[in-house]
């Protein structure tokens, strides 16, 4: 199996940027790894709208894989403590308790696949932990799996002009 596992978060992105990032990466399937995919703050990424938009705009298929989402208890503990190391440990223990990654069928992740969550960047998001876990498992079994994180481009730096205004330099 050959695959590139992309990750993407929808927050701090316009719909235009979100869909452009997926298109430029050549994503053919998006797997939603959120537990609550219908939250009112999800905007264009709310289910079932996201599945419709992906198919209609880019021809990308949509799937939901809640086994790859953290439990509410893990999320709540992280929100109250901010302890990312404890979050990672708890999340990986949960994955092991769920029989993952062994229970995931590699063929469902073949080609160019993106995992969706809400966080704008992957550093402190479970989607990064998931793709690293899957890539390590499958690369260890002779598959070719790469990882790529789809993130917003940085806004150009602005410097103060002599007249006090701002603008690109």
pLDDT digits (tens, 9 = 90+) for 75-97: 999 999 999 999 999 999 999 99
Q: Which stretch of 42-56, 92-106, 151-165 has the lowest confidence by average pLDDT? A: 151-165
Using CA atoms, how far apart are residues 37 and 143, in angstroms rounded to an integer? 30
* Nearest partner of 87 among 99, 102, 110, 71, judged by Cα: 71
Give a yes or no: residue 50 inside a domain.
yes
Give a yes or no: residue 65 inside a domain.
yes
Mean local confidence (pLDDT), 48-75:
97
DSSP reduced 3-state for 124: coil
Give a yes or no: residue 30 inside a domain.
yes
Please, what is the Cα angle at 30 between 25 and 36, to 5 degrees? 135
What is the count of structural domains for the chain?
1
Give the pLDDT confidence score for residue 42 in this predicted structure.
76
* Nearest partner of 88 among 122, 65, 57, judged by Cα: 122
CATH number of the CATH domain containing 91: 3.40.50
Mean local confidence (pLDDT), 41-45:
86
Give a yes or no: residue 27 inside a domain.
yes
Give a yes or no: residue 164 inside a domain.
no
pLDDT digits (tens, 9 = 90+) for 59-68: 999 999 999 9
What does the block give as tokens for 81? 């403590």
Give the pLDDT confidence score for residue 153 in this predicted structure.
81
pLDDT digits (tens, 9 = 90+) for 112-134: 999 999 999 999 999 999 999 99
Q: Is the pTM above the cut of 0.75?
A: yes
- Residue 160 confidence (pLDDT) above 90: no
The domain containing residue 134 runs over which residues? 2-151
Mean pLDDT of the residues in the chain: 91
Give the pLDDT confidence score for residue 41 in this predicted structure.
74
């Amino acid at each position: 199996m050959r695959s590139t596992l992309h990750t993407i978060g929808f927050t701090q992105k316009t719909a235009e940027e979100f869909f452009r990032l997926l298109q430029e990466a050549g994503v053919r399937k998006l797997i939603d790894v959120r537990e609550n995919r219908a939250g009112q703050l999800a905007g264009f990424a709310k289910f079932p709208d996201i599945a419709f938009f992906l198919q209609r705009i880019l021809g990308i298929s949509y799937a939901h894989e809640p086994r790859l989402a953290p439990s509410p208890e893990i999320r709540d503990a992280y929100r109250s403590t901010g302890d990312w190391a404890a979050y990672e440990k708890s999340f990986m223990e949960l994955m092991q308790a769920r029989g993952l990654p062994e229970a995931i069928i590699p063929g469902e992740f073949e080609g160019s696949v993106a995992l969706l969550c809400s966080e704008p960047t992957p550093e402190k998001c479970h989607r990064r932990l998931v793709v690293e876990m899957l890539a390590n498992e499958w690369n260890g079994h002779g598959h070719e799996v790469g990882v790529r994180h789809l993130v917003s481009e940085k806004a150009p730096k602005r410097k103060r002009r002599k007249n006090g205004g701002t603008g690109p330099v």
